[in-house]
Structure 1
Amino acid sequence: MNKIKINLLIIIQTISLLISSILAIIFYNCFNFSFYENFYKKENLANNIGTTYPELINNTHNLLNYLKGDAALNTAWYSTKDILHMIDVKKLYDISYYIMISGYIIFVFLTILLLFLLKWKFLNYLTAIFNKVSISFVLAVAILGIVISVNFNTFWLKFHTILFSNDLWLLSPDESNLIKMVPEEFFTALVTKIVIHVLIFFTCLIVANGVLKKYFLKTR
């Protein structure tokens, strides 16, 4: 196998790992129930939206279980528009989950294939390419973080217009319990946390790759 093909396979392998890992971090944070609890308590949200804390918690569990496919949405709490929007969100979640799993499968398959074809020479190629691809991702995420910090509203509007083909996401607090549960402040905090976690993860990968490269060069 020539060098160009090897480099291409390693780029695909690395991108598959990074995209899947970003999605895994997003899922972890979105389904981290303690984040919801801390936000609700900090903002005194139950009292502010005219409900009880247990009811707010129960309907949050219901929302997350719906996304996992384990429950139907509570029609006594969520409006028709809430439910229609969440149908779109669940489709997006299902597609993203499939991409994450597929990416990890591609990563494992290509790792095994390249190890079989190249033996330990694979590490030479990997360490040479991995940082370049990873740094490109870090720069993209860092730029996104700057955009979010400067104007979250613009980012959030663009995010929804790109991912959704309708306006069901334009919910009003006057008629939507969903938007009351997760207002803009919630998503600002959540997205910020995701960006920080992604940057930390990428930094760890780059450092680990540097250690591997140094160790490999010393012992091979």
Structure 2
Amino acid sequence: MNGRFEFIQWGRAILLTLLSLVVAISIALFIVINISPFFITIPKHLLGLSAAELMADYGNVIKYIQLPTQRVFKLRYLPIDPSAVHHFKDVKRLILLNEAVMLASIPLLVCGLKKQKRQNQLWRLILPFQMLFILLLFSGFMGITNFNAFFIKFHYLFFSNMDWLFDPRTTPIILLMPEKFFTVLFGLWLGFTLIILLLIWGWIKLMLRIFFNKART
């Protein structure tokens, strides 16, 4: 009986750690998408368009991929190839899925952590979280140091076609998003993911400190 209890409790701790990762990843992605306009590259003399006009079209991209009510994708100033439109449609599906996961996973995590606290089982999360931090730091380091290969593998994994290969002549908006742009966003996403996990970790440590202080008195 005791062995079964231990198995269940450790399994729950691992699941909560993974759920924390899902929450952190989804929130971090949401944040990065919405701050990405601050990091785009504004090419000089692109089709004679001003920086404000280029920013407006990039803003249309951000709105399209995030808003479920916006079903038609159009750029006001820049031309865009039909295959690129199809790719942004695929991206939209992933982003909306991320937002749905974010909204669903946050309350699940809160309930799970509260239950662990009530049952005095928060301490079981320490080891899984430590292992998660090590794995995430290692994976992030590998991704940043070899970002081009990571970027290509990511697209092969999540997209079933080659529409993500934009031709700057027919889809010049890609010139606003060179490889450096995506590298920066990846670094920001990794950073925000770690920060969110550290906040959860900090709450766990605080609750444990309060518990042990009460136990001593």
What TM-score does the superposition give when structure 2 sets the normalisation length?
A: 0.83
In the alignment of these two chains, the number of paired residues is 207
Q: What RMSD, in angstroms, separates the aligned Cα atoms of the two structures?
A: 2.3
Aligned residue number for residue 25 of structure 2: 22
**Which secondary structure state, in structure 2, belongs to the residue aligned with residue 171 of structure 1?**
coil
Aligned residue number for residue 165 of structure 1: 160
CA distance in 1, matches of 2:190, 2:206: 24
Aligned residue number for residue 207 of structure 2: 212
**Which secondary structure state, in structure 1, belongs to the residue aligned with residue 208 of structure 2?**
helix
CA distance in 2, matches of 1:2, 1:145: 35
User: Which residue identity does 2:121 align to in structure 1?
Assistant: Y
Aligned residue number for residue 9 of structure 1: 12
TM-superposition CA deviations, 1:59-86 (whole Å, max 9, x none): 1111111112253322553321211100
Q: Is it true that 1:156 corresponds to 2:151 in the alignment? A: yes
Conserved in 2, the CA contact under 8 Å of 1:84 and 1:168? yes
Aligned residue number for residue 56 of structure 1: 54
The alpha-carbon distance between structure 1 residues 95 and 18, as it changes in their structure 2 partners (threshold 3 A), is: same
CA distance in 2, matches of 1:107, 1:204: 13
CA distance in 2, matches of 1:210, 1:198: 18
CA distance in 2, matches of 1:169, 1:15: 30
Q: Is it true that 1:147 corresponds to 2:142 in the alignment? A: yes
- By how many angstroms is 1:15 displaced? 2.0
- By how many angstroms is 1:188 displaced? 0.8
Conserved in 2, the CA contact under 8 Å of 1:173 and 1:179? yes
Conserved in 2, the CA contact under 8 Å of 1:171 and 1:179? yes
- Structure 1, unaligned stretches of length 5 or more? none
- By how many angstroms is 1:145 displaced? 2.1
The alpha-carbon distance between structure 1 residues 215 and 105, as it changes in their structure 2 partners (threshold 3 A), is: closer
**Which secondary structure state, in structure 2, belongs to the residue aligned with residue 166 of structure 1?**
coil
Aligned residue number for residue 73 of structure 2: 73
TM-superposition CA deviations, 1:8-43 (whole Å, max 9, x none): 2333233223211221011111112xx423x34xx4
User: Which residue identity does 2:46 align to in structure 1?
Assistant: I
CA distance in 2, matches of 1:206, 1:48: 48
Question: Which contiguous aligned blocks of 4+ residues in structure 1 show a shift greater than 6 angstroms?
Answer: none
Conserved in 1, the CA contact under 8 Å of 2:25 and 2:193? yes
Aligned residue number for residue 94 of structure 1: 96
CA distance in 2, matches of 1:178, 1:165: 22
Conserved in 1, the CA contact under 8 Å of 2:13 and 2:128? no
CA distance in 1, matches of 2:144, 2:21: 23
**Which secondary structure state, in structure 2, belongs to the residue aligned with residue 47 of structure 1?**
coil
- By how many angstroms is 1:177 displaced? 2.4
The alpha-carbon distance between structure 1 residues 198 and 183, as it changes in their structure 2 partners (threshold 3 A), is: same
* Larger CA deviation: 22-31 vs 195-204: 195-204
CA distance in 2, matches of 1:84, 1:3: 49
CA distance in 2, matches of 1:111, 1:207: 13
Taking only the aligned residue pairs, the percentage that are identical comes to: 21
- By how many angstroms is 1:111 displaced? 4.3
Conserved in 2, the CA contact under 8 Å of 1:85 and 1:169? yes
- By how many angstroms is 1:129 displaced? 2.0
- Structure 2, unaligned stretches of length 5 or more? none
- By how many angstroms is 1:186 displaced? 0.7
